Amino acid sequence: MDSLTQIVLGAAVGEATLGRKVGNKAMLWGAIAGTIPDLDVLSKHFVDNVTANELHRGFSHSLLFCLLAAPIFGWLIAKIYSNKEADWRDWTKLMFLGLFTHPILDAFTTWGTQLFWPFTYKVSFKNIFVVDPLYTVPFLIFVILAMFYKRTHPKRKKFNALGLYISSIYMIITLGLKWHTYTIFQQSLEKQDIHYKEIQTKPTPLNSILWTANVETENSFLIAYYSILENDDGIAFSEFPKNHHLLGKMKDDPLIPRLATLTEGWYTIEKKDDKTFFNDLRFGQLGVGQEADRFVFSYELFYDNSGTLQAKERERKMGEASPLLKKLFRRVLGDKS
């Protein structure tokens, strides 16, 4: 999830763990714990973008990291504060829960997380977008309300608990929506007599109303959208040929299997303006329907001056975001035009 959401979750977990003993210090250190795992993004300043994407949500998001780091951070925090309201065991518990709930939350998103690192398997339920205001905003409001009460006041505990309960209930609802929309996509494929290997479904940006499906067939991938506000279940699937043969001699380079592993096999190859692009389908397209002219994550493949194959991530222009969001909102409401 996004950084703000992880901070809010960490603060709420910190409060639930140690708030009665140390007050807002518990929220502060819980928020810090909720931020620490995502510091792995700093690797992009030292390695190429493919390696950085491989490292993201790896070791720092694992159970092993939480077990190793929590006692160290707990000991350091205990040294900072001389009072005896909380000892290093208390702080260790807080840091562990703050660190551990971060990858647990990430596991519900599309990217997933290597919770059991060093095993490369990613836990990914794909039932919530990385930024979802319906999850974050109510949660944030209740955490802020809790902050203004003394640590022993019963309303502090009540507001913090409400934030945790409401966000958790919403998460359960999105799992139900995922199951419902998966069934709709599956039935539509059967009605259209489309033979497929696998279906992956996920919500579109900033909401849990409009869902999209990636469908793998023998030689192509299909992409479709369905809003639970639509009046009918007629679903149109757009086809994207895999075109893996367009790699040519590039397919024998070690970089290509790395990219294939990173995308979990959900990729197409595209030739455009004499350039070769490796498209990662897992995160969908920029836009919906005919306006979607490219994928969110895409790499330009090229040989540098030394003859080494490189993969440069294509830039996403922020200026395109506003009109795309307006079209997305209309599609959420069921407008297919």
Q: What 3-state class would DSSP assign to 20?
A: helix
> What is the distance between the alpha carbons of residues 15 and 152, in angstroms, rounded to a whole number?
11
Q: Is the pLDDT of residue 291 over 90?
A: no
Say if 202 falls within a structural domain. no
- pLDDT tens column, 37-67: 999 999 999 999 999 999 999 999 999 999 9
Domain boundary (82, 106, 124) is at 124
Residue 318 pLDDT exceeds 90: no
Residue 144 lies in a domain: no
What pLDDT, on a 0 to 100 scale, did the predictor assign at position 289?
Answer: 62
Last-in-domain residue among 74, 108, 124: 124
Q: Domain total for the chain?
A: 2
Q: 148: how many CB neighbours lie within 10 A of its CB?
A: 11
The whole-angstrom distance between residue 219's C-alpha and the CA centroid of its chain comes to 28
Predicted local distance difference test score (pLDDT) of residue 335: 80
Is position 77 within any domain?
Answer: yes
Residue 284, domain member (yes or no):
yes
Six token digits for residue 287: 């836009």
Is residue 257, in this structure, part of any structural domain at all?
yes
Give, as one character, the DSSP assignment of residue 41: G
| DSSP conformation class of 237 | P
Q: Which residues form the domain of 50?
A: 3-124
- Domain assignment present for residue 115? The answer is yes
Domain assignment present for 285: yes
Looking at 124, 152, 172, the residue that finishes a domain is 124
The residues, ordered by sequence, that sit 6+ positions from 228 with a Cβ below 8 Å of its Cβ are 177, 180, 181, 209, 211
Distance CA 86, CA 74 (A): 10
pLDDT band at 294 (very low <50, low <70, confident <90, very high): confident
pTM of the model: 0.93
Q: Across all residues in the chain, what is the average pLDDT?
A: 93
Kindly report which listed range (6-10, 102-106, 219-223, 329-333) carries the lowest average pLDDT score: 329-333
Is 250 inside a domain boundary?
Answer: yes
Q: What's the average model confidence in pLDDT over 91-100?
A: 98
Give the model's pLDDT for residue 325. Answer: 78
Tell me whether the omega of the peptide bond preceding residue 154 falls within 30 degrees of 0, making it cis. Answer: no
